Amino acid sequence: MNLAESVQIVSFAILALMMIGTALGVVLLDNIVHSAFLLCGVFISIAGLYLLLNADFVAAAQLLIYVGAINVLILFAIMLVNKRQNFVSLPNAWVRKALTAVVSFGLFALLSAMVLSTPWSSSTGIPVNNPIVLIGEHFFSDYLLPFELASILLLMAMVGAIILARREYLPEPDASGLPETLLTLPERPRELISSGSENE
């Protein structure tokens, strides 16, 4: 075993332990914000495994999309929707934990059996010189319609997140006793609203 192979094995062991540890933290921690941050560690460790497989484009996409977009979106959703309530333990909560453990160990056993029964072999294919250019050509030729549909779906998700994030409220009645008909954002100063109504 040469130095390159030993470095790859040590890197794989570190990334695998990091992925398993952060994944267990995502599942076992009670604080959902801490779980979301540990999910970022899972995504980063998976990107490192992609780098070990010489899949640099997939690793970059993993970091940009999952860590930079999806995980940040999950954090924003948690912080916008999360209610400040005390944690109350449910009765018979151990039944759910037991069922979750049984299902998790069953899936782990199935995946382990699949890994052990699969005849793994080294790839004999010749790597492409510039895979990013080839992927870009496929995106804008063969897979143009799914690529554009994905962009439209992401745009719809972004518009929906903006609409959900706008916390509008009904303002208090003015001096005349009639409530204002204008819905305003909490961050918008009331002086601007009053000056605008006086100018009209």
Give the lowest-confidence range in 66-80, 104-118, 129-143, 169-183: 169-183
pLDDT score for 3: 74
Look at residue 188 in the predicted model and tell me its pLDDT: 47
**What pLDDT, on a 0 to 100 scale, did the predictor assign at position 85?**
59
pLDDT at 184 over 60: no
Higher pLDDT, 194 or 89: 89
pLDDT at 32 over 50: yes
Asked if pLDDT for residue 86 goes beyond 80, the answer is no
pLDDT higher than threshold 60 for residue 156: yes
- Say how far apart CA 168 and CA 180 lie, in whole Å: 13
Domain boundaries, the chain: 1-82
CA distance 42 to 56: 17
Do 106 and 191 form a contact (C-beta atoms < 8 A)? no
Torsion, CA 127, CA 64, CA 33, CA 44, rounded to 10: 30
Proportion of the chain above pLDDT 70, given as a percent: 74
Q: CATH fold of 1-82, please?
A: Four Helix Bundle (Hemerythrin (Met), subunit A) (1.20.120)
Rounded average pLDDT over 125-135: 77
pLDDT at 117: 92
Distance, in Å, from the CA atom of 136 to the CA atom of 63, rounded to the nearest integer, reads 18
